[in-house]
Copies of this chain bind each other. A is one copy, B any other.
Amino acid sequence: MKISLGAKTLAQPAPVWAVGAFDVNGKPNAMIAAWGGICSSDPASVYVSLRPSRHTYAGVMEHGAFTVSVCPAELAAEADYLGMVSGKKEDKFAATGLTPVTSDVVNAPYVGEFPLIIECELSDTLELGIHILCVGRIVDVKCDEDKLVDGKHPDMEKILPMIFSPGTRSYYTVGEKIGQGFSLGKKYMK
């Protein structure tokens, strides 16, 4: 039997991404976002929803660019910290020992220790209540060489991205491979 839970943000899975931006003074900063996803295939685009009060939001607007660093399970404590304090008060890179790396294609920093990076130019914004949906046109994707399949596809089994469960507010890692998309369903084709 299904139970009604009300109008809440209880969809899952949600990602755990570090959104990187230079702040208005040029200092590298990163915050955690679980409200994010790919939003167009062509031009390849990704979004993160940010609150205007966030230090990162001002930086993204100032510089018109941001990065998404996919948080791996092995650096969960560092990632979680990036979502607990504000870059207004703390240098989150210094506190965690993570390394801010300036993108070579957009005016934003990413987290050097995180295995998969999406580098974006801000292309659109959409105001949705307390969040601003910020769309980034993907300029490049960078992945650690040892975490690729066939030298070109990021390997989820090696990256082991963190997964967020809204509601319980807990983090999970990736489990077993179920199978290939556009293949499992063939059993139902006429």
Q: Which chain A residues have a beta carbon within 8 Å of chain B's beta carbons?
A: 1-15, 17, 34-47, 49, 68, 70, 73, 76-85, 90, 95-96, 116-118, 123-124, 126, 128-131, 133, 135, 137-145, 148-149, 151-157, 159, 161-190
Contact = CB atoms under 8 A, between A and B. Distances in A.
A42 B159 contact: no
Contacts of A184: 76-77, 80-81, 171
16 contacts: A2-B143, A7-B137, A7-B138, A9-B41, A11-B36, A11-B141, A12-B15, A12-B116, A12-B161, A40-B131, A41-B129, A78-B185, A81-B185, A95-B188, A170-B177, A171-B177
Contacts of A35: 37-41
Contact of A45 (B116, B129, B141, B157): B129
A148 B49 contact: no
A141 B5 contact: yes
Contacts of A148: 3
Contact of A144 (B2, B70, B164, B178): B2
A157 B168 CA distance: 11
A83 B168 contact: no
B161 A171 contact: no
Contact of A171 (B5, B11, B117, B179): B179
Contacts of A156: 12-13, 163, 165, 168, 170, 172
Nearest to A159: B12
Which residue of A17, A79, A135, A171 has the most chain B CB atoms within 10 A of its CB atom? Answer: A171
